[in-house]
Amino acid sequence: MKDQIKVGVIYGSTRPGRFCDTVAHWAAERIAEDAGFAVVLIDPANPGDGALGTMRRLVDQCDAFVIVTPEYNHGYPAPLKSLIDSIGAEWYAKPVAFVSYGGISGGLRAVEQLRLVFAELHAVTIRDSVSFAGVWEQFDPSGRLLSPDRAERSMDAMMKRLQWWAAALNNARAAAPYVK
């Protein structure tokens, strides 16, 4: 396994005024605190990132992913589905973890649907996740968590497992090409 695991932090929302920026920024900062990880931000709302060729290249260069997704109407956003479906083999045999947010469910229904999609793409989803129920009440106006202990513990557990899977799958892909 190489020195650093490249983790693609994927913004799940493209809505104007989205809260995704706050949650994704928190997640990216937490991931970057570990010297074993290099963060690659993938934001379909950025014009440069939004081009299919750019998205495919960014996904391909990553060893693992953290999807930051809201829950809209009991599901995940259509732009996230479009991004996922527009890319194919670049997802294969790579681990995917989730940071979700929303109202009372904290985005967990969106995550459960995404697990099905990524299974079809031959990706491995991490059981542990981070979920923010009532997200708008959990961050202050500057984007800091008001009570970070639980979320940080959840993030630490999720990232330990993501690191293990990324190393194992990277070694497996190096030993033999993944066959779909």
What is residue 149's predicted lDDT score, i.e. its pLDDT?
Answer: 97
Burial class (CB in 10 A: 0-12, 13-18, 19+), 3: exposed
What is residue 2's predicted lDDT score, i.e. its pLDDT?
Answer: 62
Measured between alpha carbons, how far is 139 from 160 in angstroms, rounded to an integer? 24
Token pair for 159:
């990232």
Give the pLDDT confidence of 78-112 residue by residue, as tens digits: 999 999 999 999 999 999 999 999 999 999 999 99
Q: By percentage, how much of the chain surpasses pLDDT 90? A: 93
pLDDT at 1 over 70: no
| Helices 149-175 + 20-32 axis angle, to 10 | 70
According to DSSP, the β-strands at 5-11 and 95-102 are unpaired
pTM over 0.85: yes
Q: Dump strand ranges (E) for the chain.
A: 5-11, 37-42, 64-70, 95-102, 124-133
Give the pLDDT confidence of 17-52 residue by residue, as tens digits: 999 999 999 999 999 999 999 999 999 998 776 688
Domains of the chain listed by start with CATH number = 5-175 (3.40.50.360)
